Structure 1
Amino acid sequence: MSDRLKFELAKELGVADIVAREGDFGSVSSRDCGNLVRLAIQRAENGLVQG
């Protein structure tokens, strides 16, 4: 997954400020990281269905 996509998903989940401040995803909670992965999977599945 590209850094651009990860940051876009982080914005959607409301944790982009943490990523921007810390410079990486190390300070993002496990729950939020799990939600980020779940959102990425949903987007991928939707892309496959629509494409």
Structure 2
Amino acid sequence: MGRRRRGVMSESFKEELAKDLGFYDTVQREGWGGIRSRDAGNMTKRAVEIAQQQLTGQNQNRH
């Protein structure tokens, strides 16, 4: 059966990023398609920063 592939970021994580970056109201009004490409880029950039911080923290715990 074809289970839909989930995106890399969970919906709740994307919502948190949108709140942090100040365009969550747009998401609520218009959905994800309503955000500007610049906002989407900033969201991706922030997600990468968070992931790198988590990886760095995990690596430090191993040493």
Scaled to the shorter chain, the TM-score interval is over 0.9
1:20 counterpart residue number: 28
Q: Which has the higher contact order (CA 8 A, sep 6+)?
A: 1
Q: In the aligned structure 2, how far is the partner of 1:7 from the partner of 1:13?
A: 10
TM-score (norm 1): 0.93
> Looking at CA atoms only, which structure, 1 or 2, has the larger radius of gyration?
2
2:42 counterpart residue number: 35
Runs of 4+ in 1 over 2 A off after TM superposition: none
Q: Which runs of 5 or more residues in structure 2 are unaligned?
A: 1-8, 59-63
Offset, 1:21:
1.3
User: Residue deviations 1:1-51, cap 9 Å, x none?
Assistant: 1000000000000000000112x2101000010000000000000000012
TM-score (norm 2): 0.76
2:14 counterpart residue number: 6
Name the SS of the counterpart of 1:26 in structure 2: helix
RMSD over equivalenced CA pairs, Å = 0.6
How many residues in Structure 1 have an aligned counterpart in Structure 2? 50
Q: Which runs of 5 or more residues in structure 1 are unaligned?
A: none
